[in-house]
Amino acid sequence: MNNIKNQFPIFEKESGLTYLDSGATTLKPRSVIEKMMDYYTNYSANIHRGVYGISEQATTAYENAREKVAKFIGVEDPSEIIFTKGTTESINLVARGWGDKKIIEGDEIIVTEMEHHSNLVPWQELAKREGGLIKYIKLGQNHKLDLSELAGSINENTRILAITQVSNVLGAVNQIKQIADVVHDINPEVVIVVDGAQAVAHMPVNVAELGCDFYAFSGHKMYGPTGIGVLWGKKMLLDEMDPVNFGGGMIGEVSKLESTWAPIPDKFEGGTPPIAEAIGLGAAVDFLENFGLENISDQENEVAQYALSQLATIEGLKIFSAGEAGIMAMELSGVHAHDVATILDREGVCVRAGHHCAMPLHQILGAGATFRVSLGIYNTKEDIDKLIVGIKKAKDIFKV
Ligand code: ALA
């Protein structure tokens, strides 16, 4: 993976850029940008509507992207891939489309203490609407989940387990297969919804092997465009779900007072979809597969281990990380996370600061705010050296 930065046009303009915020969004490779430009320049027609050449070309490109995404996460039937705006919309679709129909008073929804608000708030709201109960899997040692009480928390009222595959703060990788097995041994009916936003660009994912029912992720965190995401669901569940976005393209028949719905995936893709974005996402899949997810994971892990070893030498730095998936949040004693991030910015180093859309987790960690390093395919040990210099400058400036 030598000279990978050459594939990202942003580095031509910003040669001093040290981008350590891929958990927020990844930079975009030339191949993705060009694929989208090609659509806009050469065949920017609407899909599924025209019988003329460029509309059919656009439809084919859009549906090819769906097939690529399906293959990418080990799904045989591309109609199980629903294009959404992103992970948040995907999870909200399940909460509304499946949850509103199926959850009744007294039903239990299990979440974990490390969830991003996207995989927490939709379930809180569903529970409020339908009279459900939210229960938590707690954080244990080493910034990993404590699974010792998992079996005890599942019962005949459990309907949903909503869990992230990779924490966007701790980088902890949850063993979804192992967790799904425990849950389904006790109650085979539990629907397992996995937030894969921080996983898909960093490790091979096969949803059948994970044993989950729904899997959600975003294009822009996997070198694709913003405005496109994916919800994968088992066909049986998607078929019984209600659509939540009504209008053109998602109907079967419409009469003056009643309508029926198109089969999946169209049922959930009302209105003109993000065509260029879907095509760009297909190119992002090609980009990732060209390197191989195993190779990407190995390289990111090597840089992450180097980062952890270097960060450990800085006095007053508390690191909240399981040391996995290239994600590590931290706190510098006596300096607010936003101040650290601002000083790092002056050094050309981009990190995210705040609660990273995980307020309950930060309360549990006892941290008001943290700054977070999250790696991508382009990061090197030199990037980490610049990070370390920047954190030391922050210490000097604030005299801590
Ligand atoms: N969810 C994204 C992050 O963790 C935005 O930064």
* pLDDT confidence of residue 50: 81
Distance CA 349, CA 391 (A): 10
Q: For residue 24, how far is its CA from the centre of ligand 1 (angstroms)? A: 4
Q: At residue 183, does pLDDT exceed 70?
A: yes
Exposed e or buried b per residue across 9-21, where buried means at least 16 C-beta atoms within 10 angstroms of its C-beta: ebbeeeeebbbbb
**pLDDT tens digits, one per residue of 53-91:** 999 999 999 999 999 999 999 999 999 999 999 999 999
pLDDT above 90 as % of the chain: 96
Question: Is 23 close to ligand 1, i.e. is its CB under 6 Å away?
Answer: yes
What is the number of alpha carbons within 13 Å of residue 223 lying toward its C-beta? 29
Angle between helices 275-291 and 293-311 (to 10 degrees): 80
Q: Which of 118, 164, 356 to mutate to test the pocket of ligand 1 (most atoms within 8 A of CB)?
A: 356
Q: At residue 52, does pLDDT exceed 70?
A: yes
* pLDDT confidence of residue 2: 63
Residue 362 contacts by C-beta under 8 Å, 6 or more apart in sequence? 169, 355, 356, 368, 369, 370
Question: Is 372 close to ligand 1, i.e. is its CB under 6 Å away?
Answer: no
* pLDDT confidence of residue 221: 98
Question: Is 24 close to ligand 1, i.e. is its CB under 6 Å away?
Answer: yes
**pLDDT tens digits, one per residue of 82-121:** 999 999 999 999 999 999 999 999 999 999 999 999 999 9
Catalytic residues: 357
**pLDDT tens digits, one per residue of 309-335:** 999 999 999 999 988 999 999 999 999
Contact 109, 162 (CB under 8 A): yes
* pLDDT confidence of residue 1: 67
Distance CA 39, CA 18 (A): 31
Contact 137, 178 (CB under 8 A): no
pTM above 0.95, yes or no: yes
Q: Is the dihedral of CA 235, 236, 237, 243 positive or negative?
A: positive
Q: By three-state DSSP, how is residue 141 classified?
A: helix
**pLDDT tens digits, one per residue of 141-179:** 899 999 998 999 999 999 999 999 999 999 999 999 999
The string of DSSP codes covering 351-398 is -EEE-TT-HHHHHHHT-S-EEEEE--TT--HHHHHHHHHHHHHHHHHH
Which ligand 1 atom sits nearest the alpha carbon of residue 21?
A: 6
Residue 69 — left, alpha, or beta (φ > 0 → left; ψ -120 to 50 → alpha)?
A: alpha
Question: Is 116 close to ligand 1, i.e. is its CB under 6 Å away?
Answer: yes
Mean pLDDT score of the chain: 97
Q: At residue 387, does pLDDT exceed 90?
A: yes
Q: At residue 375, does pLDDT exceed 90?
A: yes
User: What band does 3 get if pLDDT is binned at 50, 70 and 90?
Assistant: confident
**pLDDT tens digits, one per residue of 204-222:** 999 999 999 999 999 999 9
User: What band does 363 get if pLDDT is binned at 50, 70 and 90?
Assistant: very high
Q: At residue 341, does pLDDT exceed 70?
A: yes
* pLDDT confidence of residue 323: 84
What are the φ/ψ torsions at residue 374 (nearest 5 degrees)? -135, 125
Which ligand 1 atom sits nearest the alpha carbon of residue 197?
A: 1
User: What band does 225 get if pLDDT is binned at 50, 70 and 90?
Assistant: very high
* pLDDT confidence of residue 15: 86
Residue 287 — left, alpha, or beta (φ > 0 → left; ψ -120 to 50 → alpha)?
A: alpha
